[in-house]
Structure 1
Amino acid sequence: MHNGIAEQWKSIQGYEGVYEVSDRGRVRSLARTVTFKDGRSRMWPSQTLAQTSDNSGHLRVSLNKAGIGAMTLVHQVVAAAFIGPAVDGMEIRHLNDQKGDNRLANLAYGTRSENILDRVRNGIHHHSIKTHCRRGHRLAEPNLVESSLRRGKRDCKACRYAHNDLHRKGQPTESQLKTLADIKYLNCGLGSPVTT
């Protein structure tokens, strides 16, 4: 029991009677008797399987059936057993973005966009953690493009305005963009840009 709530176990699809997965992200083999080709039999006790991490940080387990082994991602079997099959175009989201946290409470189906917005909300998306644009302007109000914020991005308003102004007059050089963007940034009242 965990926090007064009993752990729930369900069969893993395709491995019914052999393996189960829990709502806490654990996988276990079930006690069973295996009969070998020579007629001998052996009792295998139930046990919780060890989980290993793949290159991306997702946990996986090795499942075997009829002598054929397969590495299986734990979050996929938890979602399939407790939420149901995935709909086309949907992926499994780790709501807290901890790939090793395969509790049912942390998993949900969603779109690629929802998965990316989770990373923004959890503060691990590269746009959500950057502090300055590539020209050294601080990414803070009032120097943020509002339309970008609504899409979960943080873009430099000074650079955007400088880019738009100069493109109306032709193809600007990087030094022209930097000079005009610095002037627009100073007008925002956030101090001097960081020199890059």
Structure 2
Amino acid sequence: MLEPQGEVKKVVIWLHGLGADGHDFEEVVPHLGLPPEHGVRFIFPHAPINPVTINGGMQMHSWYDIRSEDFMNDVDHAGIETSCQQIFELIETQIKFGIGAENIILAGFSQGGLIALNVALNGPYDLAGAMALSTYCPMADRFELHRDTPVLMMHGEHDPVVPFAIGQATCNALQKSGYEVEWHSYPMQHAVCSEELMHIGKWLQER
């Protein structure tokens, strides 16, 4: 967790990708260009350690199991639901601390982005926004809640892990369902680049 200078007014809950942990994105915060008085608490939770089928059953931090390369059809719905519940509890804790749901943004990279979209667009809270980086969401065309929640999606055009096409398909499905999605792509692989961080910082300040 990274606390701001002074009073906490907003919260960003940022979810890491497969095999990483909650420390993975801590170092990007100083590069977002936020003003010193931004008042944002950044929370970086750890996914539970679980066996991941596609990695030979290796135990690692994972928000859900990945059973095959068919990301859009072979989906671990039970694992996704369990992780969503973990994030619901985090949101509830922040609400008890006096931060309204309308002042909370969910962000996530890869696996974490899928969880962020599910919680923000299919959960009980009207959040300030959802940020989904280098990710996909097979159930995006079935979301019906919180269509006023702003969504930022970003993807590498040469991503060898989460193909660009399925990230773009998720964006298209959300837009078709009436969600406001801001989409950016970059000439990179499964990563985060400096131009992307600049856009993230601008988007956060607008929220």
After TM superposition, is the score higher than 0.5? no
Report which of the two structures shows the higher radius of gyration computed on alpha carbons: 1
TM-score, normalised with respect to structure 1: 0.21
> By percentage of residues, which structure has more helix?
2
Q: TM-score, normalised by structure 2?
A: 0.20
